[in-house]
Amino acid sequence: MFFPWFNGSKVHTAMLVLISILSVNCIANTQIPDYRQMAQLAEYIGVDYPEAIDSGEIINNAEYQEMLEFSGILITQAKASKVSALVSKAEILEASIKEKKASSEIQQLCNELRSELLEQMPQATRPRQLLPEPATQSLFQQQCSTCHGRQGKGDGPTSIGLAPPPTDFTDRTRAMNRSILGLYDAISNGIDETAMVAYDHLSEEQRWSLAFYAGSLAFEEVKVEFAKSPNVTLEELINNSPTQLANGDIDELEKVVQLRASPSRFFSHSPSPLGIARSKLLEARSAYKNGQLEKANHFAVSAYLDGFELVESSLDTRDSNLRKQIEANMMALRKQFKNAENREQLEASLDATLAQLDSAEQILSSEGLSNATLFSASLIILLREGLEALLVTLALAMVLIRSGRADVLRYVHAGWITALVAGGLTWWAARELISISGASREVMEGVAALTAAAVLFYVGVWMHSKSHAAQWKAYIQKQVTQRLKVGTLWGIALLVFIAVYREVFETVLFYEALLTQSLPSQTPTIISGFLVGTLCLVVVAWLTIRYSVKLPIGRFFSVTTYLLVGLSFVLIGKGIIALQEAAIIGISPLPMTFELDWIGLKSTWQSLLAQALVIAVFVAYTIRSRLSRI
C-alpha cells in the first residue's frame, strides 16, 4: 500500500488521462463538481510543484505538464460549480504556474483554493475513535509495509521497480503540506493505474487510524504525551496541513506538529473533561467569528458545564487558585461572546483561558493524580453532595418520629430509595440512550434546589410556630393524626426524592470524571475515599438520630427549625448558582470574589440577595411570632 498521489516522482500519463475523463464525466453527468477530488488536486500541486520548477526554471518537464493539466481540471470543475471564488482562485493558480512563479507563492495559492473548497464541500464524517496505537502499527505492518517499508520510508521489499515509487512518510518537508483527509481519501479510494489500490475492505476506523498514523511518521521525534494543544479542532486538524494550520506562526507550528505526532488527545475512550472544555471554547470562537453570538454563548456555557466543572474537585486539591481563575474567566467569557464589538478583549480572554486549561491539564495529567489527591477528591465529592440530602431526609424522618408517626417512615424511605434508583437509571440513560447536556443538568438541579428550599423553609417556619412544648402537644392531639393523610405522606416522599435525586446524578458524573483522570491501578483508592465518605455520613446519621430523640420536644423543634431554614438558605443559593451556570439567570459579580460552596455562598448579587431574602423573611416571621405572644 502506498500513496504516490503525493509523491514527487512522475505520475503515469494514463492516470492523468483517467482523472481527466472521470472529471469530465462527473461534470457532464451531474453538473456537480467533485470538491473532494479538487481538494486533492490542489494539495498535490502545492506539494509537488517544487519538483517541477526551481528558480523560475523547469527542472522536470513531465511534472510541469502535470501541474498545468491538473490546474486545467481545477478550472473546469470550478466553472461547473458556478462558485465565482473557486473559478477566480483556480485561474490565478493556473496563470501563476504558467509564469513559473516561486514554490512558496504556488503553495499559498493552493492553500487558499483548498480552504475555499473545504467550505464548499459537505462536511466529511469525522472519526469517533482510533485504534490503539499498537493495533494501528500492527495493521500498518500487515497492509502497508510491503511497499512503504516497516518504518514508512517507502523502501518495502516490493517497492523496487514501482513507478511512481511508494511515498516516504518520514519526509518532513512533504508531510508539512499534507492533510490527514488526503491520506484517508487515498487509502479509501486508491489511485487508478498505480499499485495503490483501494482499501475499502478495511473499516472506517481502521482507515482513519492508518491515515493518522501515516501522517505522524514524519514527526515521531517530537512525540510528547502531554503537549500543549494548539487552538484547532479535530475537523481543522483533519482537513488542513500543518503549514496551513500554523499560518506562519512558529510557536503554533510547533504545537501543531506535536498534535500531528500525538493526536490521541482527540480520541480518548472517555473524553477528557478539559479536552471537552477546550473544544467547546474553540467552537464558540468559530461561531463568534461567523457572527453567531447566541451559538457562541451556548458553546461557552457547555465548555464549563460539560467540561471544566467535572474536574473542579480534582484541580481544587492541586491548585485552588488556578481553579478559581479558570472558573471566573469562563463565566466572564459568556458575556464577552454576546458582545460583537469587543473582539480584541474576547480574543485576549479566550487565549488566556485556553492557556490556563493547558496548565490545568499538565497539573492533572503530566504526573498523574497522586493517591492522596484521588482519595481526598473522592471523599470531598461524596461529603459535599451527600450531606445536604442526608440532613433533609433525617430532619423529615425525625419530625415524623417525634410526632408519634414512626409508622409512616416507609414514605421517607420510599423517597430516598427511589431517588437512588432514578439517579442511577438517569446516569445510565445519559451514557447509552440520550444526551443530557450540562446545561440541562444544571437546570434540573437548580429547579430541584429551589423547590426543596421553598418547602423546607415552609416546614421550618411551621415548626417554629410549634416550638413550645405545650403548643406542640395540643397540635399533636388535634391535627397531626388527621392531617397526615396519604396525600401529605406522598408529598413528604416527593420532597425526600427531590432532595436526594438532585445530588445523585451529579455525584455519579463527578466520580466518572475522577476515574478518567486516574490509572486503573488507582481505582481502589477512589473506592476507599467513597467508602470513608459513606462511613462519615453514617456516623452523622447515627449521631443525629441518637441525640435528637433525647432532646425535649420544644428544643428538638427549635433546633430542627434552624436546621431546615439553614438548609433552605444553602439550597436557594445553590439553586440560583446552578441556574446562573446554565445561563438561565444572569450573573452580576460583586467587587470582591469569595466562595463557600458548603453553604452555597458565592460572590454574585443574585444568589446573595436570594439568601438574604430567606434570612429576612424568617427573622420577620420570628419577630412577629414573639410579638403575638406578648
Distance CA 489, CA 511 (A): 33
- Greater confidence, 350 or 564? 350
Contacts of 171 (CB under 8 A, 6+ apart): 218
Distance CA 442, CA 582 (A): 6
Residue 21 has pLDDT above 60, yes or no: no
Using a pLDDT cut of 70, give the percent of the chain over it. 79
Break the chain into its structural domains and give their ranges: 32-120, 133-265, 268-366, 371-629
In this prediction, residue 532 carries a pLDDT of 92
pLDDT tens, residue by residue, 282-313: 889 888 888 888 888 889 988 888 888 888 87
Q: Is the pLDDT of residue 100 over 80?
A: yes
Output the pLDDT for position 609. Answer: 92
Question: pLDDT (tens digit, 9 = 90+) per residue, 158-180?
Answer: 888 887 788 889 988 888 888 89
CA distance 444 to 439: 9
In three-state secondary structure terms, 464 is helix
DSSP code string of 553-574? HHHHHHHHHHHHHHHHHHHHHH
d(Cα 560, Cα 255) in Å, to the nearest integer?
Answer: 58
The DSSP element (H or E) to which 374 belongs, if any, is helix 371-402
Compute the distance between CA of residue 110 and CA of residue 120 in angstroms, rounded to an integer: 15
Residue 6 has pLDDT above 50, yes or no: no
List CB contacts of 71: < 8 A, sequence separation 6 or more: 45, 90, 93, 94, 97
**Of residues 375 and 250, which shows the higher confidence score?**
375
**Of the candidates 22, 61, 66, 28, the residue with the CA atom closest to the CA atom of residue 44:** 66
Predicted local confidence at residue 91, as pLDDT: 93
Tens digits of per-residue pLDDT, 511-551?
876 776 666 667 888 899 899 989 988 988 888 788 776 66
Give the distance from CA 472 to its chain's centroid: 54
Specify whether the CB–CB gap between 44 and 191 falls below 8 A. Answer: no
**Residue 114 — φ and ψ, nearest 5°?**
-65, -40
Beta-carbon neighbour count of residue 150 at 10 Å? 14
Contact 24, 56 (CB under 8 A): no
Residues in a beta bridge with 5 = none
Q: d(Cα 290, Cα 340) in Å, to the nearest integer?
A: 10
Report d(CA 74, CA 89) in Å as an integer.
10
pLDDT at residue 276 is higher than 70: yes
How many whole angstroms separate alpha carbon 381 and alpha carbon 526?
11
More confident residue, 403 or 286: 286
Least confident range from 85-99, 210-224, 440-454, 593-607: namely 440-454
| Average pLDDT over the chain, rounded to an integer | 78
Report the 3 state secondary structure along 388-407.
HHHHHHHHHHHHHHHCCCHH
CA 472/CA 467 separation, integer angstroms: 7
Phi–psi pair at 589, nearest 5 degrees: -75, 155
Percentage of the chain lying above the pLDDT 90 cut: 8
DSSP state at residue 385? H
pLDDT at 613: 92
DSSP-derived letter for residue 164 is S
CATH hierarchy code of domain 133-265: 1.10.760
Q: How many CB atoms lie within 10 A of CB 36?
A: 17
Q: How far apart are CA 227 and CA 85, in angstroms?
A: 37
DSSP three-state, residue 62: helix
Say yes or no to pLDDT of 181 above 70.
yes
- Mapped onto helix, strand or coil, the DSSP state of residue 75 is helix
pLDDT over threshold 60, residue 467: no
How confident is residue 225, by pLDDT bands cut at 50, 70 and 90? very low
State how far the Cα of 259 lies from the Cα of 269, in Å rounded to an integer. Answer: 18
Section 123-130 average pLDDT? 71
- CA distance to 115, 405, 479, 578, 625, per residue, from 284 (Å): 20, 55, 58, 21, 54
Residue 100 backbone class (left: φ over 0; alpha: ψ -120 to 50; beta: rest): left
Q: For the purposes of burial, counting CB atoms within 10 Å of the CB of 567, is it exposed (0-12), middle (13-18) or buried (19 or more)?
A: buried
**pLDDT > 60? residue 197:** yes
Given pLDDT bands bounded at 50, 70 and 90, which one contains residue 471? low
**Does pLDDT of 434 surpass 60?**
no
Residues in the chain: 630
Average pLDDT over residues 27-48: 72
